[in-house]
Amino acid sequence: MKIDVNDKVDFVHLWQEGMKGWNGQMPERMVNDELEDSFWKEVVMRKSLDPKMDEHVIPLFTKLKTHIKSSDHVLEIGPGWGNYTFSLLPDVNTLTCIDSSSHIVEYLQQVKNEKKGTQLELIHHKWEEWDKTEKYDVVFGINCFYRMYHIKTALQKMNETARRLAIIGMTTGPMRPHYLELLQTTNLAINIPRRDYIHLLNILYELGIYAQCETVELQRTFTYHSYEELIKANTIKIREEKYDRRLVEKVIEKYSYYQDGKYYYPHQFHGVLLHWQPKNQ
């Protein structure tokens, strides 16, 4: 373990505490694999066999591709429904995906068959419990660490498995601006993010890994078909049951707009890539 300026802060503990709900308990999805698998079953049931990348992450994907060579055998951790997977596939020699959800693996297999993606390999397993010793040119995972309690083990495994480069990707803040205004101007209790890339960067530092950090600007415009839908979707982080609804609505209205029968809420935030060359191998 590297001891330096952060020797008084346990970032693994902060990460693990951040997994808990505001009641101090671990949410069921964090500890129940069957419940997590059921969640992803519902997600992929709504997906076609020709999935398209979410437009708002294209800048992050473009940055990711600058680190990957066409000759690489790449391992993707926690691909989900394949937001990055199938867009990356034409630009690599081989892409292997590992995911803990059986429904995700089955869905990706179906898309593979549809697209005839012969260079795609699929593994059904939890990353942090995977005991294989195979190496890959590049190992990456984007927004896939949310259930990984033993986060240091997961990061060490990335370091050990990557031959040339390991990459962590995350989307990060700021929060939607109406929440930030409410935090500054009211006493409302709001669920603010409790884990972020900065925790992973510091855990890597404690492992003696000096990861490089790159950020890109992202924007996503949320669309709602009614005013009530707009308000409901943008108050879910308020922890209190009773509050001045009209006050909250006025703040939400400042950051959203109505056009052609729909309500829109544009949100500017960031994507982050942490990447490093494998150490101590």
CB 200 within 8 A of CB 169: no
- Number of separate domains in the chain: 1
**Helices vs. strands in the chain: H and E counts, helices first:** 11, 8
Position 118 scores a pLDDT of 82
Residue 255 inside a domain? The answer is no
Instruction: Output the domain CATH number for residue 120.
Output: 3.40.50.150
Q: Can you give the residue range of the structural domain that contains 42? A: 11-174+193-219+269-276
**pLDDT (0 to 100) of residue 256:** 98
For residue 260, tell me if it sits in a domain.
no
Can you give the pLDDT at residue 133? 80
Asked if the structure places residue 243 within a domain, the reply is no
Residue 7: the pLDDT is 65
Instruction: Flag whether 225 is in a domain.
Output: no
Give the pLDDT of residue 5.
57
Collapsing DSSP states into helix, strand and coil, what is residue 271?
A: strand
pLDDT value for 272: 98
Distance CA 108, CA 86 (A): 9
Q: Which pLDDT belongs to residue 70?
A: 96
Give the tens place of pLDDT for each residue, 49-59: 999 999 999 99
Positions in the chain whose pLDDT score sits under 50: 1
3-state secondary structure at position 13: helix
Q: Distance of CA 100 to CAs 45, 77, 79, 103, Å?
A: 17, 9, 10, 9
The backbone torsions φ and ψ at residue 159, rounded to the nearest 5 degrees and listed phi first, read -65, -40
